[in-house]
Amino acid sequence: MTRLTFSLLLFLWQISLFSQEYFPKNDGVSNNNSNYTAFTNATVYVNATQKIDNATLLIQNGKVLQVGTSVKLPENTKIINLEGKYIYPSFIDAYSDFGIEKPKRSAGFGRSPQYDPSRTGYYWNDHIMPEVNAADHFKFDDKKAKELVEAGFAAVGTHHHDGIARGTGMVVALNQNGNNGERILQEKATQHFSFSRSVVKNQSYPSSTMGTLALLRQMYHDADWYAKGNAKNKDLSLEALNKNKSLPAIFESKDKLNNLRADKVGDLFNIQYIIVGSGYEYENIKDVKATNATFIIPLNFPDAYDVSNPYQAEYVSLQDMRHWNQAPGNPKVLAENNVPFAFTTHDLKSAKEIISRIQKAISYGLDETTALKALTTVPASILNNNQIGNLNNGSFANFTITSGPIFDKGTTFYENWIQGEKHVINDLNQKDIRGDYNLNVAGKNYTMKLGGEISKPSIEITVDTIKYKSTIAYKDNWVEIGMTKDDELYRMTSIVSNTSDNLSGRLILPNGLASAFTATKTQAFESKKKDKKEESTPETVSVTYPNMAFGNNSLPKSQDMLFKNATVWTSEANGNLENTDVLVKNGKISKIGKNLSAGNAQVIDATGKHLTAGIIDEHSHLALSSVNEGGHNSSAEVKMEDVVDPDDIGVYRALAGGVTSAQLLHGSANPIGGRSAIVKFKWGENANNMIYSNSPKFIKFALGENVKQSNWGNTETARFPQTRMGVEQVYMDYFQQAKEYEAQKKSGKSFRYDEEMETLLEILNGERFISCHSYVQSEINMLMKVAESFNFKVNTFTHILEGYKVADIMKKHGVIGASTFSDWWAYKYEVNDAIPYNAAIMQNVGLNVAINSDDGEMIRRLNQEAAKTVKYGGVSEEEAWKMVTINPAKMLHIDNRTGSIKEGKDADLVLWNDHPLSLYAKPEKTIIDGAVYFDLEEDMKKRQAINEERNKLMKMMMDAKNGGGKTQTPTKRAERDFHCDTDHLFEGFQDHD
Amino acid sequence: MKHLIQHIFLSGLMLMSLFTNAQQTPAGKQTETISITGVTAHVGNGTVVNNATIVFDNGVITEVGANVSPKGKIINAEGKHVYPGFITVNSTLGLGEVDAVRASMDVNEIGSISPNIRSLIAYNAESRVVESMRPNGVLMGQIVPRGGRLTGTSSVVQFDAWNWEDAAVKVDDALHLNWPNSFSRGRWWLGEPAGYSPNKNYSSEIETFKTFLTDAKIYAKTKPAKKNLAFEAVQGLFDGSQKLFIDATSEKEIIDAVTFAKEMGIDKVVLVGAYHAYKITDFLKQHNIPVVVGRTQSTPSFEDDDYDLPYKNPKLLHDAGLLVTINPGGRMERMNTRNLPFYAGQVVGQGMDKEDALKLITSNAAKILGIDDKYGTLEVGKSATLFISEGDALDMRGNVLSHAFIDGRNISLESHHTNLYQRYSNKFNEQQD
């Protein structure tokens, strides 16, 4: 250490206000300073809601002693007159990584995957790190502190941003004159969780969102079990989790849907998480409110897209354009709905942007009190600290002195006092030189207007309408002005005096000679605040459900309707009925017959048209946030219901193809996949409302190349199984474990609750059905034999491309359904013998056969795929149609509700303009529970509206750009293209088929 | 090492099983005059002849009409439909067998500018995938190498042959260019956002290719002693003997590509993919550019697009007066090319006339490939490359073939699939007996 830095440190040490009393002191005598400081004549905000005019604030030893209009000042008080100025409690950011080094991404990509944990003595999963304490990693960051302090912050909650369970966070004062002994306000203030794997660790599990959720649930179960003293081993992670249980838990979601998912985990374990939101809360505010959570909200409003190039502009989706327009209104929407929230600077490039972002939010309707709360009292309460965020007696003397109301444009931040220590932002005593002047330069008169902020004035020099390029710098009590006229530069400099409002001083002429100039003040500066208030709030376009192209202005509602004179494909024993009426009432099929009376129902003339039950896809991966949990060879603990994403445009497109229900399956990355979500494609509804109530329970199994990882590249040879022989043993092993788990559970002895085992038990007990991805005959046969040895039946074989070879064995086993592709083959080795006649042969043998899509494109045309069974194998048209309606309904155990046109069933219907098996047919209406979710005529109107709204938003973005606003390059989101084989390892999407 | 040997052994096994079941035996030459009677003849040029008789001899159609008297061997196909053999443009059939088995794939060569790469010599005439085209009426195709910027040279083949020499219909017909993408995907594994943003290298990528073509032109002016295979391979573009197929997607890319080709003196340009071509049909018409538009049975590329945009895209271009066929390219493209008739039929649902939709995969395709003197329609003097279907061949329920002919040869409609169908149907029928 150099002598210079050493003495600098000494200096810093000495200026510290409250020395640590019991520390030995060898560099001098102990100079205690217990003087008082009073700030008088200020407008003081004691907290966000309590304002005192003309008040005095008295502080001593870093704390507030008293605030009010009649504060008695002791004799040893230093008085600072703040007449005309404002005092606010300094801000708090509850969600920061201040002073904690950013975790460094490990170079895991391309290596053989790591399935086991890298450490011992801790939890079995590396991404669970509740034992990490921010305080152990903390190092005060002066540079970052300065940035925060200048933005008005006095304290932050900070933690280690890595992993799913991230350990505890601490609260730190940003007092740059103090030391950590003074600055650390709370060593363990909060606990932290997130949806992101550790970037440092490489353990494969979890590789998906549903895996993350399952892992968190299991972690809590295990913690409980551990707390009861059942574990034989030491687990420092669970010990820490249990120990810190009572601390406020903050969950980083940063995603519209993850907000709700995090809260759902909390509900299971009686934890109310504080949720770090996404900025998209305005889109599903009712669901957000229902979480009852306090939110930490980012202010990273997107910049306008630069749409000046029309070719590039095409790439920006309506939903991204809308977010630009609507996001600044997010805080307002939260406030209106009484959702408590704090602001964070975490997603901003610099903390200094915070005020301009809040000003923007205010211009979009956010009230100033809520804004101030979001920076003070709310984060303080999140951090469980009542000594910050307010100026009550006894609180920390953390306050910011400003020139005016804190959120007004043009307000200057002068000083940020933290723990009674002054941090100068701008010179408090700097004179306000703003105003209009008569400027005389080299014998000519000009008008000079100084505006902007007191410490950073702006300048404009004009003669009549001619404007001259000019610059101004104002520091300490000197001002420097530059003016360019006729390409020549005039430089001026003047002292700012407290005795005169005029400026005068030296003028350097373009030829280098010195002269003098004068500027006589003609008018004082007037804030334009009032005019601004009169400006109307910026126009925002309406939110739709979902908030994107083709979204609904309001949610479709069930309506009574009568279809007159249709060709009705019943998918029942009575076959096709010509010239028949179907009455829909209260969301159900109420009556089928001739000449039915409509009553109050809307009459739809279906003459020449065909009415069918809605198409059901047994195998889809639409509307899911992620598909595969490939981190383990069994992932029975994961639930696709956790990750339903209702905002997938694929849902709307499937409706346009007549699909009303689908099973959203886990992928085929492992022999035992995850539990299914069975949904109705209610476009615009949230995930919960899409999922069937009392849904039949299903789970995805998979066989063959995908689970053996045959096509995943040469590095993926570490996970068992790598052969079909091994696949069988995975099942034998897990079902055996499940049996033993059940025995332990029934024995009344203590047992470790295991969500995976609970799920497998449901299978063994016939309460949960398997839908098994399968290709070749050997493995199909194998799974049936495994099931038989454990006394259960395989419900569905899906894909089942060699089903035609073992159809007789399947029938004998009692398979409920065989759900296949119409004509896919040759995409991998195991589908070499896949033939388009498969469905016909299986049907002839007597199996219940369905045609599925597993594809966001084919799902749009499942009627055509059904028609292929007529071509390949001569299936009758009525039977072919059943393969996409009642047959899949049967294998999904929803045939009592949907899948055919039968009185009493759900009104899930499609009106076709032509014979539904014709390639030329298209749906005119797709109806679910009696509500119209797709209507061809409405669709045409939506197309028009999308075009108009895009144009409107693009014009607004051009205006923003031309007004000097920042822009970003047009971008397009990556497509979702999930298939069975979509693998989620390493956060990326690799297609493996 | 042991692992490696195992690998080689396994791949060997796979290959053996792929090729041990060779395809159906190719048909011999037409030896007698054949007349098909009583059919609806879908000529492929937009017209239909009802109750038609079609006569062909020596592989060539000699008569088509309602009042033609049958000659030679008579196939009474009353009530059935006859179509010209369907033609697939920009296909990789015969270059790849099983997508996931690398050893079976010869689709993508490495390197960026490889015009001298020729598809024909790798075309597997005995591919089981190719064999599965015929029962659906897809009888010919242009086989195209993929991979890189200038991917290589294609040839047109027919789908019933002993070897690639037999199969060849038009050798080295065209070169194929993948135009640079104006938007490129972020490299997520390097921490970039996974979405698309403007490709910073777009101009330099064009420049690189331009330099190559300019050099190739200059090269041709002299006859250097040292040969440059790549330069030699593109000379057909400049003298008009070969076409240039350019795969470009967006409006900007299409305008750039066509302008570039014209400036380079390339006369015969065909656009491939061309998702956004419908927005600039006037420009394409002005430059007389045919379009091999993306397959109809695909999802829209943009969230805000009409759900049926891919369905109607060929119609939008056809209505604007452009010459259009359908690109089979995309995911699982080879096996799905047997659905080519349905790709065309999909447009009928969007209001296109059925006979116009048929043109997409018959006469239009033949014109784009420059084989319309012999193929693509049921007209006198053209090759008897045609088939008889029970019903409407553009709709799956009607697309059931009883006969198909290539150059008058009565080809087999059996396949690996029909063999297995029979094998297991028989098994279960016997069980029931």
Query: Using one digit for the tens of pLDDT, what is the confidence trace for A853-883?
Result: 999 999 999 999 999 999 999 999 999 999 9
- In chain A, residues with a C-beta closer than 8 Å to the C-beta of B129 are 826
How would residue B191 be classed by pLDDT, with cut points 50, 70 and 90?
confident
Q: What whole-number distance in Å separates Cα of residue A808 and Cα of residue B427?
A: 10
How would residue A361 be classed by pLDDT, with cut points 50, 70 and 90?
very high
Can you give the pLDDT at residue A927?
Answer: 98
> How far does A662 lie from chain B, in Å, by closest CA?
18
Crossing angle of helices A318-326/A936-962, nearest 10°?
50
Q: Which residues contact A436 (CB under 8 A, 6 or more apart)?
A: A447, A448, A449, A450, A521, A522, A523
Question: Taking CA atoms, what residue in B is nearest to A657?
Answer: B307
Can you give the pLDDT at residue A465?
Answer: 87
C-beta separation of B75 from B35 below 8 A = yes
- pLDDT of B188 above 90: no
Can you give the pLDDT at residue A989?
Answer: 31
> To probe the interface with B, which of A317, A975, A983 has the most B CB atoms within 10 Å?
A975
C-beta separation of B146 from B110 below 8 A = no
- In chain A, residues with a C-beta closer than 8 Å to the C-beta of B2 are none
| Residue B249 forms contact with A (CB below 8 Å) | no
A262 and A352, same domain (yes or no): yes
Q: Which domain holds residue A595?
A: 550-614+899-939
DSSP letters for A756-793? HHHHHHHHHTTSSEEEEE--SHHHHHHHHHHHHHTT--
- Tokens in use for B238? 């400049």
Asked whether the bond before A970 is cis by omega within 30 degrees of 0, the reply is: no
Q: What whole-number distance in Å separates Cα of residue A592 and Cα of residue A612?
A: 12
Q: What is the DSSP letter of A625?
A: S
User: pLDDT, tens digit, for every residue of A132-185?
Assistant: 999 999 999 999 999 999 999 999 999 999 999 999 999 999 999 989 999 999
Decide: helix, strand or coil at residue A594.
Answer: coil
How would residue B430 be classed by pLDDT, with cut points 50, 70 and 90?
confident
User: pLDDT, tens digit, for every residue of B296-343?
Assistant: 999 999 999 999 999 999 999 999 999 999 999 999 999 999 999 999
Query: By percentage, how much of chain A surpasses pLDDT 90?
Result: 87
Q: Do A832 and B17 touch (CB under 8 A)?
A: yes
Q: Which fold has domain B24-85+376-433?
A: Urease, subunit C; domain 1 (2.30.40)
Residue A350 inside a domain? The answer is: yes
Residue A7 inside a domain? The answer is: no
- Tokens in use for A522? 């003609």
Mean pLDDT for A825-836 is: 96
Q: What whole-number distance in Å separates Cα of residue B198 and Cα of residue A402?
A: 44
Can you give the pLDDT at residue B68?
Answer: 96
The enclosing domain of A256 has a CATH number of: 3.20.20.140
A720 and A592, same domain (yes or no): no
Can you give the pLDDT at residue A980?
Answer: 59
Q: Of the candidates B154, B163, B156, which has an alpha carbon nearest to the alpha carbon of residue B23?
A: B163
- pLDDT of B385 above 60: yes
The helix or strand, by DSSP H or E, that contains position A509, with its residue range, turns out to be: none
- pLDDT of A663 above 70: yes
Q: Do B100 and A828 touch (CB under 8 A)?
A: yes
Q: Do B252 and A311 touch (CB under 8 A)?
A: yes
Mean pLDDT for A527-538 is: 60
C-beta separation of A907 from A927 below 8 A = yes
Query: By percentage, how much of chain B surpasses pLDDT 90?
Result: 90
Q: What whole-number distance in Å separates Cα of residue A835 and Cα of residue A199?
A: 45
- Tokens in use for A645? 């994403």
Mean pLDDT of chain B: 93
A415 and A443, same domain (yes or no): no
A720 and A805, same domain (yes or no): yes
Question: Taking CA atoms, what residue in B is nearest to A946?
Answer: B304
Can you give the pLDDT at residue A992?
Answer: 31
DSSP letters for B198-209? E-TTHHHHHHHH
- pLDDT of A6 above 60: no
CATH of B86-371, one of 3.30.70.260, 3.20.20.140, 2.40.30.10, 1.10.4190.10: 3.20.20.140
Can you give the pLDDT at residue A455?
Answer: 83
- In chain B, residues with a C-beta closer than 8 Å to the C-beta of A810 are none
In chain B, where does the domain assigned CATH 2.30.40.10 lie? 24-85+376-433
- pLDDT of A229 above 60: yes
C-beta separation of A297 from A345 below 8 A = no
Where a domain ends, among A395, A424, A453?
A: A424
Q: What whole-number distance in Å separates Cα of residue B108 and Cα of residue B176?
A: 12
How many structural domains is chain A composed of?
4
Can you give the pLDDT at residue A979?
Answer: 60
- pLDDT of B13 above 50: no
Mean pLDDT for B259-278 is: 97
- In chain B, residues with a C-beta closer than 8 Å to the C-beta of A824 are 332, 335-336
- pLDDT of B243 above 50: yes
Mean pLDDT of chain A: 93
Q: What whole-number distance in Å separates Cα of residue A679 and Cα of residue A691?
A: 4
Crossing angle of helices B251-263/B202-221, nearest 10°?
20
Q: Do A873 and B421 touch (CB under 8 A)?
A: yes
Look at the alpha carbons of A626, A631, A634, A639 in this order and tell me if their dihedral is positive or negative: negative
> How far does B36 lie from chain A, in Å, by closest CA?
23
A270 and A361, same domain (yes or no): yes
A442 and A458, same domain (yes or no): yes
A556 and A661, same domain (yes or no): no
Mean pLDDT for A500-507 is: 91
Q: What whole-number distance in Å separates Cα of residue A981 and Cα of residue B4?
A: 26
Mean pLDDT for B143-151 is: 96
Where a domain ends, among A831, A862, A891?
A: A891
Decide: helix, strand or coil at residue A53.
Answer: strand
- In chain B, residues with a C-beta closer than 8 Å to the C-beta of A314 are 250-251, 276, 302
How would residue A424 be classed by pLDDT, with cut points 50, 70 and 90?
very high
- pLDDT of A765 above 90: yes
Query: By percentage, how much of chain A surpasses pLDDT 70?
Result: 95
Q: Which residues contact A518 (CB under 8 A, 6 or more apart)?
A: A439, A440, A502, A503, A504
- Residue owning tokens 């004799």: A75
Decide: helix, strand or coil at residue A222.
Answer: helix
User: pLDDT, tens digit, for every residue of A240-267?
Assistant: 999 999 999 999 999 999 999 999 999 9
Q: Of the candidates A627, A799, A846, which has an alpha carbon nearest to the alpha carbon of residue A702?
A: A799
User: pLDDT, tens digit, for every residue of A791-800?
Assistant: 999 999 999 9
- pLDDT of B20 above 50: no
The helix or strand, by DSSP H or E, that contains position A694, with its residue range, turns out to be: none
Tell me the backbone φ, ψ of residue A371, rounded to 5 degrees: -60, -45
- In chain B, residues with a C-beta closer than 8 Å to the C-beta of A708 are none
Q: Do A826 and B98 touch (CB under 8 A)?
A: yes
Residue A152 inside a domain? The answer is: yes
Poorest-pLDDT segment among A1-5, A55-59, A770-774, A946-950: A1-5
| Residue B98 forms contact with A (CB below 8 Å) | yes
Can you give the pLDDT at residue B414?
Answer: 96
- In chain B, residues with a C-beta closer than 8 Å to the C-beta of A829 are 14, 98, 100-101
Mean pLDDT for B266-274 is: 97
A249 and A285, same domain (yes or no): yes
A481 and A627, same domain (yes or no): no
A593 and A715, same domain (yes or no): no
C-beta separation of A798 from A775 below 8 A = no
In chain B, where does the domain assigned CATH 3.20.20.140 lie? 86-371
Can you give the pLDDT at residue B223?
Answer: 76
The enclosing domain of A554 has a CATH number of: 2.30.40.10
Nearest CB to B397; choose among A549, A649, A870: A870
Could you tell me whether strands A341-344 and A77-81 are parallel, antiparallel, or unpaired per DSSP bridges?
unpaired
How would residue A30 be classed by pLDDT, with cut points 50, 70 and 90?
low
A176 and A141, same domain (yes or no): yes
What is the per-residue burial (b if ≥16 Cβ within 10 Å, else e) of B124-137?
Answer: bbbbbbbbbbbbbb
Query: By percentage, how much of chain B surpasses pLDDT 70?
Result: 94
Residue A952 inside a domain? The answer is: no
User: pLDDT, tens digit, for every residue of B221-231?
Assistant: 987 889 999 99
Q: Do B431 and A808 touch (CB under 8 A)?
A: yes
Q: Do B182 and A314 touch (CB under 8 A)?
A: no
A638 and A516, same domain (yes or no): no
Q: Do A311 and B297 touch (CB under 8 A)?
A: no
Look at the alpha carbons of B223, B229, B230, B236 in this order and tell me if their dihedral is positive or negative: positive
Q: Which residues numbered 301-360 in B keep a CB inside 8 Å of some CB on A?
A: 301-304, 306-308, 332, 334-336, 338-339, 342, 345-346, 348-349
Can you give the pLDDT at residue A981?
Answer: 55
